[in-house]
Amino acid sequence: MNILRQIPRTDQALHDIFEKCSDYYQSNTAELRKIEEFRMTYTMDKAAEWYTTDSFVYRLINKALRTEDIELLYLFRFYIVDLCSQLDQEHKKLLSTQILTLYRGQIMSKEEFDKLQRSIGSLISPNGFFSTSRYLSVAISFIAGRCNMAEERTVLFEITADSRLESVIFADIDTYSRM
The mean per-residue pLDDT over the stretch 13-24 comes to 91
Burial label for 52, CB within 10 Å (0-12, 13-18, 19+), is middle
User: pTM (2 decimals)?
Assistant: 0.68
62-105 per-position pLDDT tens digit = 888 888 899 999 999 889 889 988 888 877 777 666 788 888 88
Residue 177 pLDDT grade (very low, low, confident, very high; cuts 50, 70, 90): low
109-164 per-position pLDDT tens digit = 888 888 888 888 777 777 777 777 788 888 888 888 776 777 888 888 888 877 77
